């Protein structure tokens, strides 16, 4: 392979994802649905050779990697954005201008934390060190969105989704939703 191909995987659902809180650098565990989403990734990832398997150093990303693939190499640079003073708040309680900046992915800065540009620079510094080949990276929604920013229509990275990109050419190759929907399907009527 003459390029750096990156498979960016967002971790499975957490309790904060479920209730709409900003989790950033907080240590929030996967829910049972999040664990199921992680296990559901295994068939999508198997059968390919990866030159490296990496994850954020936060437990929700590491657990997703272990359930979906195996043991990753953790790296702090793959963490979610540092939400600083907004950490743990519900989206609705964040000031309206910050909400808008997050939704538009433009100009967001968390007081006491990072800006979106800080996040992008941190993650790009990691990705730029990867040798040619295919790499599997377990990370967070903000990281996935940041790396895809400007590569086409903005897309929210759902829990357990995969974005495949040619990092060398900065091209999006594929997007894969998780086989398990966010909410469990209703039981069939008898």
Give CA–CA dist 141/112, Å, rounded: 20
Catalytic residue among 11, 63, 120, 140: 11
80 annotated active-site: yes
Give CA–CA dist 22/17, Å, rounded: 8
11 annotated active-site: yes
Catalytic residue among 80, 87, 114, 120: 80
Q: Cβ contacts of residue 57 below 8 Å, gap of 6+?
A: 74, 75, 76, 78, 79
Q: Tell me phi and psi for residue 50, to 5 degrees.
A: -115, 135
Token readout for 180 is 């398990």
**How many alpha carbons lie under 13 Å from residue 183 in its C-beta half-sphere?**
4
Q: Active-site residues: which are they?
A: 11, 80
């Amino acid at each position: 392979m003459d390029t750096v191909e990156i498979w960016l995987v967002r971790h499975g659902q957490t309790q904060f994802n479920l209730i709409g809180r900003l989790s950033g650098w907080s240590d929030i565990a996967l829910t049972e649905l999040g664990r199921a989403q992680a296990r559901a990734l295994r068939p999508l990832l198997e059968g390919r050779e990866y030159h490296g398997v990496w994850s954020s150093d936060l437990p929700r990303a590491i657990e997703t990697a272990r359930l979906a693939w195996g043991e990753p190499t953790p790296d702090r640079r793959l963490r979610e954005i540092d939400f600083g003073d907004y950490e743990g708040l519900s989206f609705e309680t964040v000031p309206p201008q910050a909400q808008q900046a997050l939704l538009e992915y433009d100009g967001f800065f968390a007081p006491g934390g990072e800006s979106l540009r800080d996040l992008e620079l941190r993650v790009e510094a990691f990705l730029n060190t990867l040798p040619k080949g295919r790499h599997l990276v377990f990370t967070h929604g903000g990281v996935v969105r940041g790396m895809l920013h400007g590569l086409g229509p903005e897309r929210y990275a759902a829990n357990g989704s995969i974005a495949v990109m040619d990092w060398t050419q900065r091209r999006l190759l594929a997007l894969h939703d998780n086989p398990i929907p966010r909410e469990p399907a209703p039981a069939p009527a008898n």
